[in-house]
Structures are given as C-alpha cells and as structure tokens.
Chain A
Amino acid sequence: MESVKSPLVMRRSIFIHASPERVWQEFESIDRMRRWYAGEVPGITQQVLRYEPVAGGWLEIACQWTKGTPGACRLGGKILVFDPGRELTQERHSFLPERPWREPIRMTFRLSPALGGTVVEVLEYGFEVAGEHAASYHLEAEAGWTMHELEALRRLVEAPVMTGASAWAAP
C-alpha cells in the first residue's frame, strides 16, 4: 500500500463474509463507527470521541485499560486517505502529556477483496518519528492491540440483525 512506508508496522487482520462495499458501510458515520470501534469489556474501555469521515476530516479515540500495566490513551488526528471500500488512513497524535510524540504516527484500515469476502487489516506504523523510542512504541503496539475492534466489525457485518450500542464481546 502506498500509505505504508515505515518498516515498523503493527498489523492485525480478519476475514469477513461480505463485500468491501458492505464492510465500508460501518465506516460511514460516527454512529456506525461507535458500534465496532468503541466498546467495553472487562479491563478495557474505548470511546470514539470525534469522527468526520472524509479526507481532511478527523478521527479521535480515548481508551483505558486495567489489565496488565494500567494505562490510558487519547489518540487522534487528521484523516489523510478516505477511499471508500478500500482504505482509511489517519495521523495519530498522542494527546496524553506523558506520551509526547513530536510528530504523529499513522494508522490504516485496509479492505481487500479475497476468497469471496473481505480481508480487513489494521496497520499502525510510522513509529520512527519517536526516534530512540521507536522500537519500544512499536513493541507496545504489538503487545497491546487486541482483536476486539475487528471481531466486533465482523459480528456487525455478518449478523443478520444486530441491535445495541456496541458489538464488543468478552473474549
């Protein structure tokens, strides 16, 4: 993908039995995003604070976790690529004072048709902007990313009827 130039990449992926166009419907508004990109399970809470689904728009989340070493995040930034059915790429600033990235890292959701459905990948990269901390931020991303978001997206798309605020579920 053109957007990914960084060798330090965190990747998670999932297969969904639906077309990329159908999956992308869940990226089209903040209400849709909140059903899968936000949620709560024991030990982890995540909120979508702001989402403007357009190139030049904005995506920002807050999270808290109590598993392992307790922590929090507030991550967000400008949407650089908004290519319906294919890719959403954003800048990710860290807005917490103890996590001072001078420049934003990046995150991409990529949808690819495969095997009669869609492979959805989430990629977090560009940790090189953190200089001497690059490897440790990359390691935190590899250790910290769960499948809650992508599993919730899959459940929403594959379920014939889904009600309620969020599709997160305990593992």
Chain B
Amino acid sequence: MEPGALVVRRSIQIAATPERVWQEFEDPERMKRWWDLDTPNVHQRLVRYEAGVGGWLEIEGLHHGHPFHFGGKIVAFDPPREVTMEHDWMPSQGWTVPTLLTVRLTANGYGTLVEVLHHGFERIGDQALEAFHGFEGGWGIEELDALRRIVEAG
C-alpha cells in the first residue's frame, strides 16, 4: 500500500533473506517475541494475532506510563513482502476510520530492509495532524531491533 503525504517511517537492516524474516510474522508465538516489549519507556503485549487477510493484530501496554490499547483487521498479507493492518484505538477516540500500519520487507545486497510505515492519517478526520505528530514523536525502533536480534541469532 502506498502511503499519502502523512507517513511515519522507521526502518532497520537485517542480515537475512525476506523469507527468513517473514517466519517471524507467521504465528502469534513468533510475533510475541518481537512485539512484546519491556523497555524503560514502553511495556506492551501482543494480545491477539491472527495471520492472513481478514486476520487481526491487537496490542496493549504503557507508553511513558500512559496506557494504550490498539488493534485492527489485517487488510493485506503478502509473504514475504508486506503486511498491512488497520490501526485504531480501543475503544475508539473518534477517528472516522482507522489509520494503517504497514510492515514492508525489501531484499537488498545486504539482506532485508524492514520498514514500518504508519499512514492513512488523512482519512481519520479532525485529529489527522495531531495523530500524525503524536506517532512521529512516539514510534521507536524497539520492535524492529528485537526482530533483527531474533533473526540474526539464527
């Protein structure tokens, strides 16, 4: 999915093929190993994951002490290239439609570039710019770095 003007991007290079990286997207146990975080600022748990189009991803936790809970339907699932899911707060905070969260894998001469793209803010209504700025300030690379360490460990 090609994002619009308002997109938050984080990326990491992993020394492995996209096929190897994608194994970590295949079931809830694998996904929990890199989506579950306990860092000084972020504590989060993957509470639901159903792989595949029509599936679901849902996470809850604390970000700098503030509780959050988001989730949404998986709308694109293209091994080993892309998964895109809807992303909205639970319960809703008034967005007219969810934003979109894409994880994209691209092979290169060094292995695989993994990008997280949070986009679709233009669609959500009055809170678009506030939400975009919030996520640009909020997204770290903890999940991606955890994914890298798991894959590169073997």
Which A residues form the contact surface with B (CB < 8 A)?
Answer: 7-15, 112, 114-115, 119, 134-135, 138-139, 142-143, 147, 151, 171
Contacts and interface: CB of A to CB of B under 8 A. Distances in A.
* SS of A interface (majority): mixed
Contacts of B5: 15, 112, 114-115, 119
Contacts of A12: 136
B129 A135 contact: no
Contacts of A114: 5-6
A151 B129 CA distance: 13
B87 to A, nearest CB: 17
Chain B interface helix/strand/loop/mixed: mixed
A14 B122 CA distance: 14
Nearest to B64: A171
B6 A119 contact: yes
Contacts of B150: none
A147 B11 contact: no
Given A14-B133, A115-B122, A134 B11 contact: no
A139 B141 contact: yes
Contacts of A9: 11
A13 B8 contact: yes
Nearest to B5: A114
Contacts of B111: 135
Nearest to B138: A147
A134 B13 contact: yes
Contacts of B49: none
Contact of A13 (B7, B13, B108, B141): B7
A15 B6 CA distance: 8
Contact of A7 (B8, B14, B15, B108): B108
Contacts of A171: 137
Interface in B128-145: 129, 132-133, 136-137, 140-141, 144-145
Contacts of A112: 5
A119 B133 CA distance: 11
B129 A15 contact: yes
Contacts of B15: 135
A134 B110 contact: yes
B17 to A, nearest CB: 15
Nearest to A138: B13
Interface string B91-113: 00000000000000010101101
